[in-house]
Amino acid sequence: MQENAALTLENHSYAQRERLAFIDFCLQYHGEIGRNELMAHFGTAVASSTRDFTLYRELAQENLILRHENKRYYRTDRFQPLFHHAPRTALKVLTDGFGYGISATPEQSPFCEDAPDLISPPQQVLATLSRAISQKQAVQVSYQSLTSGASKRVLVPHSIVNNGQRWHVRGYCRKRSEFLDFVCNRITSAHIDEKNSDTTRIAEYEQQAADAQWNQQLTLELMPHPNHKHPQAIALDYGMQVTNTSRRNNQPVRQLSIRAARAGYLLRHWNVDCSPDHRLPEQEYHLWLRNHNILEHCANAVLAPGYAGTGDEAAPSS
């Protein structure tokens, strides 16, 4: 974002900044925008739309040019975005539309598609878990475990987490007296018994601050699988760079800081070879965890492909 424009933007309302961001996004990613799109998207009148384009031109005069034959604005070669549109957010907008609200049905993009979502948590379960976390309450659930079948538990949830394939709720399980992960879709019912304060009241040892695995950060060092013939292709895939610690061998590395509670899940999702001697087939595992010993601090390291631990690790019960 241009510095002077950034200072000026702060003087305007949130609603107007949203409309300016819409103009900015359309220019950058579609190359053009007309007044009718702005009016249709935000439900504004002609006069308001005209003011928005006038203000945008005042803030970034060289970003757009008006073609009078069709009364549309087009991106110029001197374009400098007023707003930072992060690639991940931009792809979401290109797929589902720009800020259409939490209750709207996403639009079908003609040229940008995301992977199908096979697993979405049930709305009632998700809402109950979210309320319990926000209000710091325990929740009674019926849970279908993959290992032990159906059971009733009292959980003290503190976070809802996407492990790359499905959504988990992380929290203290009073049945097991430890922090665990539970697949949201396997919760068949969830209820906060607000009349029973003994059930809903939570202790300090049940709260997020007491979850050691959640609060511990691990720095993973990911690099192209050493057996791969074209490591530079993989380095480009994952935005890897040659760091000070890897410069001697000229090895590109991607360093990621993640929670210990999430490490095993994500390494499995990313197909990372976590074996000390990178013995897994490079055709399937494009990445290798160079500092594989760091998984000794991870309770769910057994989920990591190729991990050879001490034998004391236990797979998550969810």
* C-alpha pair distances (Å), 223 with each of 233, 248, 267, 296: 11, 14, 13, 19
Instruction: State residue 3 phi and psi, 5-degree precision.
Output: -60, -50
Least confident of 58-62, 262-266, 311-315: 311-315
Instruction: Give the tens place of pLDDT for each residue, 58-114.
Output: 999 999 999 999 999 999 999 999 999 888 888 888 888 876 544 455 666 777 888
pLDDT at residue number 89: 87
Phi, psi of 197 (to 5 degrees): -65, -25
Q: Which of 265, 266, 183, 282 is nearest to 227 (CA)?
A: 282
Cross-sheet strand order for the sheet of 64-67: 32-34, 72-75, 64-67
Amino acid at 121: P
Give the SS3 label for residue 293. helix
CA distance 302 to 292: 12
Q: What is the pLDDT of residue 310?
A: 45
- Those residues whose C-beta lies under 8 Å from the C-beta of residue 108, and which sit 6 or more positions away, are none
CA distance 46 to 166: 45
> In the prediction, which pLDDT does 134 show?
92
Tokens (6 digits) for 52: 């928005």
DSSP states of 219-269 as a string?
A: EEEEEE-TT-S-HHHHHHHTT-EE-TTTGGGT-EEEEEEEEHHHHHHHHHH
pLDDT by residue (tens digit) across 195-253? 776 677 899 999 999 999 999 999 999 999 999 999 999 999 999 988 665 445 678 99
